[in-house]
Amino acid sequence: MVSTDNLMIYLSEVFLSHPVLTSALLVLTITRIIWYIRDSYKVCAFSQKHVFITGCDSGFGNLLARQLDGKGFHVIAACLTEKGAADLSAAASSRLKTIQLNVTDSASIKRAVEFVSREVGERGLWGLVNNAGRSTPIGPIDWLCIDDFTKVLNVNLIGVVDVTLQSLPLLKKAQGRVVNVASILGRLALTGGGYSLSKHGVEAFSDSLRKDMKPFGVKVSIIEPGFFKTAVTQQDLIEADLRRLWSLLPQDVKASYGATYLEDYVKAQNFSLGVLCSPDISKVTWCMQHALTACFPRTRYSAGWDAKLFWIPLSYCPSFISDFIIKVILPPPTGETNT
Could you give the residue numbers annotated as active site? 195
CA angle 276, 228, 91 (to 5 degrees): 150
End-to-end CA distance of the chain: 59
Q: How far apart are CA 277 and CA 288, in angstroms?
A: 19
In this structure, are residues 181 and 225 in contact, taking their beta carbons and an 8 Å threshold?
Answer: yes
